[in-house]
């Protein structure tokens, strides 16, 4: 039996999303607002509607406890609200400034994932409201997100139909074309499935798309982590084929060199051994600037090869680029960043902190020589 018991008509435009907690119903709309209703009688709470967003609100979700509500918007922000009084707890700005399409809390409420129209996905610390990790998908905007019941990994779905699995360190564990058209939603079953023979636990995941299909997946964190490790080792070793090298060249915006490298049968081993002399004499690359760029990219690749198994300490990673810092600077928020990345951030983000989202007291960047020395010592140790 299905029976309509109430209709809510308070929004002034399309309603994009709704979410339940144990005592509340939240809704969000193109009218830029979020509304909260009591489940007892569906009356709107005194502090509703919640107003901050300057453009359409695409998604809202409760923390597992129900005490915090997250909302995300075309304005490029994800906002956390206290559901008891409507107080705004934090404004978390997507690093790219792109419209945020989806947000989701982890099962233990420690993290919040936000996915944007440009394919970036951010993992926020839901207690400190600081950016924890950042990544991106290859194509399309992010439209769906779901955490596994144990919180060890989460899944995002894109408008291109790609389903991507991430671990809690924002490492991409698996990605594949799940739907011919865009993914509209995905969710995990709360009950795991056990493998009777090996005692492994699997999680069931459902994805639905614009191809009129709903697909059910079995996901094992142990298996995808093992496959991811094997894939990374192949990515950053001498096992690359000539085709792998061609793919790498295109990713580095060096696709004009693909023909030259193929003609000279450059595979992974050959690539890592290239020098400025071999680029000029053997490959006949005449442009000095182009040779310099190739060598710079190869050196970055060598660094990744030698650091893959050792793991780069978090304090050596720039919070913006999520890469090893070469020229670290201290900003007025007290955090260290890669100089070029922070300069770009300040010029585009109106001097807000990437970590706190508060206005920076000053735009002055101070070289962090102590950190640079520590990074150099670490590199010397791990490049032997």
Residues, the chain? 384
Residue that has been written with the tokens 């409201």 in this structure: 129
CA geometry: angle at 33 spanning 32 and 36, to 5°? 160
The domain defined by 15-230 carries CATH number 3.40.50.2300: no
Q: Is pLDDT at 90 greater than 60 in this prediction?
A: yes
CB-facing half-sphere around the CA of 3: CA atoms within 13 A: 2
Backbone φ, ψ for residue 32 (5° rounding):
80, 5
pTM for the predicted model, two decimal places: 0.60
Higher pLDDT, 72 or 168: 72
- Alpha carbons 318 and 334: distance in angstroms, whole number: 13
Q: How many Å separate Cα 360 from the centre of its chain?
A: 24
Q: Is pLDDT at 227 greater than 60 in this prediction?
A: no
Q: Which residues pair with 186 in a beta bridge?
A: 207
Backbone φ, ψ for residue 101 (5° rounding):
-100, -25
Burial of 58 (0-12, 13-18, 19+ CB in 10 A): buried
Backbone φ, ψ for residue 97 (5° rounding):
80, 5
Q: Which residues pair with 180 in a beta bridge?
A: none
138: CB partners within 8 A, 6+ apart? 119, 162, 175
- Which whole number is the average pLDDT over 306-323? 70
Q: Looking at residue 150, what is its pLDDT?
A: 80
- Confidence class for position 235, pLDDT limits 50, 70, 90: very low
Residue 28: closest CA among 65, 64, 62, 76? 62
- Confidence class for position 57, pLDDT limits 50, 70, 90: very high
Backbone φ, ψ for residue 16 (5° rounding):
-90, -30
Instruction: Summarize pLDDT for 260-279 with one digit per residue, the tens.
Output: 999 998 988 888 889 989 99
Q: Is pLDDT at 222 greater than 80 in this prediction?
A: no
Higher pLDDT, 191 or 310: 191
Q: Looking at residue 238, what is its pLDDT?
A: 62
- Alpha carbons 321 and 334: distance in angstroms, whole number: 17
Instruction: Summarize pLDDT for 343-367 with one digit per residue, the tens.
Output: 888 887 567 787 766 788 888 899 9
Looking at the domain that runs over 314-383, which CATH code has it been given?
A: 3.30.40.10
Backbone φ, ψ for residue 291 (5° rounding):
-60, -40
Q: 207, 163 in Cβ contact below 8 A?
A: yes
Q: Looking at residue 357, what is its pLDDT?
A: 67
Instruction: Summarize pLDDT for 118-155 with one digit per residue, the tens.
Output: 888 999 988 888 888 888 887 889 999 999 888 888 99
Domain ranges of the chain: 15-230, 236-309, 314-383
- Which whole number is the average pLDDT over 38-53? 94
| Strand, helix or coil for residue 289 | helix
CA geometry: angle at 105 spanning 68 and 179, to 5°? 140
Q: Looking at residue 193, what is its pLDDT?
A: 75
- Which whole number is the average pLDDT over 5-14? 92
Choose which CATH entry (1.10.3720.10, 3.20.20.70, 1.10.150.50, 3.40.50.300) describes domain 236-309: 1.10.150.50
Q: 278, 302 in Cβ contact below 8 A?
A: no
The pairing of beta strand 24-29 with beta strand 33-38: antiparallel
Q: Is pLDDT at 71 greater than 80 in this prediction?
A: yes
Instruction: Summarize pLDDT for 18-34 with one digit per residue, the tens.
Output: 999 999 999 999 999 99
| Structure tokens belonging to residue 169 | 């360190």
Same CATH fold assignment for domains 15-230 and 236-309: no
- Which whole number is the average pLDDT over 8-19? 93
Backbone φ, ψ for residue 61 (5° rounding):
-155, 150
Q: How many Å separate Cα 52 from the centre of its chain?
A: 24
Instruction: Summarize pLDDT for 193-219 with one digit per residue, the tens.
Output: 765 555 556 788 999 999 899 999 988
């Amino acid at each position: 039996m299905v029976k309509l018991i109430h209709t809510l008509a308070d929004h002034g435009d399309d309603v994009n999303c709704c979410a339940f907690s144990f005592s509340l119903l939240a809704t969000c709309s193109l009218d830029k607002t979020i509304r909260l209703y009591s489940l007892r009688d569906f009356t709107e709470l005194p502090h509703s509607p919640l107003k901050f967003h300057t453009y359409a609100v695409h998604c809202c979700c409760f923390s597992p406890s129900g005490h915090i509500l997250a909302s995300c918007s075309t304005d490029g922000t994800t906002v956390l609200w206290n559901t008891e009084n409507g107080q705004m707890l934090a404004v978390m700005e997507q690093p790219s400034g792109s419209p945020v399409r989806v947000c989701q809390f982890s099962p233990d409420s420690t993290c919040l994932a936000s996915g944007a129209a440009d394919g970036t996905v951010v993992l926020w610390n839901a207690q400190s409201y600081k950016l924890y990790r950042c990544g991106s998908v290859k194509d399309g905007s992010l439209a769906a997100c779901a955490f596994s019941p144990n919180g060890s990994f989460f899944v995002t779905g894109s408008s291109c139909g790609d389903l991507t699995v991430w671990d809690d360190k924002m490492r991409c564990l698996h990605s594949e074309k799940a739907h011919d058209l865009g993914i509209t939603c995905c969710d995990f079953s709360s009950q795991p499935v056990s493998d009777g023979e090996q005692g492994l636990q699997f999680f069931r995941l459902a994805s639905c798309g614009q191809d009129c299909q709903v697909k059910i997946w079995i996901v094992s964190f142990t298996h995808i982590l093992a496959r991811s490790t094997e894939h990374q080792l192949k990515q950053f070793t001498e096992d690359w084929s000539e085709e792998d090298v061609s793919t790498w060249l295109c990713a580095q915006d060096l696709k004009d060199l693909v023909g030259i490298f193929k003609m000279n049968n450059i595979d992974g081993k050959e690539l890592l051994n290239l020098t400025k002399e071999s680029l000029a004499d053997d490959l006949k690359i005449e442009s000095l600037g182009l040779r310099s760029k190739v060598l710079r990219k190869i050196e970055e690749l060598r660094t990744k090869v030698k650091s893959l198994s050792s793991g780069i300490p978090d304090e050596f990673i720039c919070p913006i680029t999520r890469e090893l810092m070469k020229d670290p600077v201290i900003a007025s928020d007290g955090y260290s960043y890669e100089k070029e990345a922070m300069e770009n951030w300040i010029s585009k983000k109106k001097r807000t902190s990437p970590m706190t989202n508060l206005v920076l007291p000053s735009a002055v960047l101070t070289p962090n020589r102590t950190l640079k020395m520590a990074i150099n010592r670490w590199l010397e140790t791990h490049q032997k």
